[in-house]
Structure 1
Amino acid sequence: MATGAPSAIEAVLRRDRLVTLVALACVCIAAWTYIGLGIGTEMPGMEMSGMAMDPAMPMPMPWTGTTFALMVAMWVVMMVAMMLPGAAPMVLTYTALQRHRRQVAPQAATALFTLGYLVVWAGFSVLAAILQWRLDSLALLSPMTATANMVLAGGALVIAGAYQITPLKQDCLVRCRSPVEFLTRHHRSGPFGLGLRHGLFCLGCCWALMLLLFVGGVMNLAWIGVIALFVLLEKTIPGGRWLSHAAGAGLIAWGGWTLISAA
Structure 2
Amino acid sequence: MPHPRAAPSVAVDSHALLPRRDLAFAWVLMVLLAALAWVLTADQARGMAMGPGTMGLALPIFLLLWLVMMVAMMFPSVAPVAITWGHAIGRQSSGVVRAVRTTAFVSGYLLVWTTFGLAAYGLLTLTADLVRDHPDAGRWIGAGAFLVAGVQQLGPLKGVCLRHCRSPMFQLLRYARFRPRLRDLRVGAHHGLYCLGCCWGLMIVLIPLGVMNVAVMAGLAAVIFLEKLWRYGPWLARGVGIAFLVLAFLAVFAPFQDWLLPGLGVDGASMDPTMPGGM
With over 3 angstroms needed to count, the CA separation of the structure-2 counterparts of 1:183 and 1:13, relative to structure 1, is farther
Counterpart of 1:109 in structure 2 is 101
Counterpart of 1:24 in structure 2 is 30
How far apart, CA to CA, are the structure 1 residues paired with 2:168 and 2:141? 36
- Offset of 1:181 from its aligned partner? 2.2
1:131 has 2:131 as partner: no
1:86 has 2:92 as partner: no
- Offset of 1:229 from its aligned partner? 0.9
How far apart, CA to CA, are the structure 2 residues paired with 1:222 and 1:175? 28
With over 3 angstroms needed to count, the CA separation of the structure-2 counterparts of 1:182 and 1:220, relative to structure 1, is same
1:162 to 129, 141, 151: 151
- Offset of 1:196 from its aligned partner? 0.5
How far apart, CA to CA, are the structure 2 residues paired with 1:193 and 1:148? 41
Counterpart of 1:6 in structure 2 is none
Counterpart of 2:42 in structure 1 is 36
Map residues 170-249 of structure 1 onto 2, 5 A cutoff: 170-189=159-178, 190-249=183-242
How far apart, CA to CA, are the structure 2 residues paired with 1:150 and 1:92? 42
Which ranges in structure 2 are unaligned for 5 or more consecutive residues?
1-14, 257-279
Contact 2:165 2:195 in 1 (8 A): yes
1:194-244 deviations in Å (ceiling 9; x for gaps): 001000000000011101111211121111111111111111100111111
Cα-Cα RMSD: 3.0
- Offset of 1:74 from its aligned partner? 1.4
- Offset of 1:187 from its aligned partner? 2.1
How far apart, CA to CA, are the structure 1 residues paired with 2:76 and 2:54? 35
Contact 2:86 2:105 in 1 (8 A): no
Higher relative contact order (CA 8 A, sep 6+): 2
1:27-69 deviations in Å (ceiling 9; x for gaps): 11111111110169747xx9xxxxxx9xxxx9x9995xx7222
TM-score (ref. length: structure 2):
0.75
Map residues 43-58 of structure 1 onto 2, 5 A cutoff: none
* Identical columns (%): 32
For 2:19, the aligned partner's letter is L
TM-score (ref. length: structure 1):
0.79
Count residues in correspondence. Answer: 233
